[in-house]
Amino acid sequence: MPDIHFPIDINEVKGFLASDEGEALYQLAISCARQGPILEVGSYCGKSTLYLGTAARETGNTLFAVDHHRGSEEHQPGEEYHDADLFDPQAELMDSFREFRRNMRLAGLEETVVPVVAPSGVAARHWATPLGMVFIDGGHSLEAALTDYRSWSRHLVPGGLLAIHDIFPDPADGGQAPYDIYKLALASGQFEALETVNTLGILRRL
């Protein structure tokens, strides 16, 4: 287990990332620091951002955190992962950005993490910065997952890392969209599989 020091209790941060997956993200972000900045899609309240952002801070890197903060399909009222504390009754919309900003402030990451508050495809429309690592954990519909993969994987430098969360080879264990884009990356001939940590699939750009 890596020696990671957080100014706040990582277990108190809302999110769905297992500790072994977070620790793997931290190590990956450390390893690719010289290749370019890091970008994550799907920050939610910032659990993955803390792991990646801490690694970025320690290596003098930058993390771009892309999320519209209106929640994925499963976060909406009446759905399985809806959190009433993150619902804005005035706008009648889910809003995780206030909680995200609070966690970044408490963790001392405001000089390292650049929030990009926009849908993934919109944020990528004029993107031109080469990336050393991309972490995809956005919407789990096939359309959303494909948008994330097509928008951001092409900006990875050779040797850059692509990490995809919620890989479930068995459909009985979970939704298939993240696994579909994982297989798409391999089939493209542009990526090689490195390892899988829990449900985190890790590939390298050739």
Which active-site residues does the annotation give?
A: 140
Alpha helices in the chain (DSSP H): 19-31, 47-59, 97-106, 120-124, 142-152, 177-187
Asked if 135 contacts 26 with a C-beta cutoff of 8 angstroms, the reply is: no
CB 138 within 8 A of CB 41: yes
Say which residue the tokens 């969209």 belong to: 177
For the packed helices 97-106 and 47-59, what is the interaxial angle rounded to 10 degrees? Answer: 40
Q: Which residue has the tokens 């809003």?
A: 95
Annotate 11-25 with b (16+ C-beta within 10 A) or e (fewer): eebebebeeebbbbb
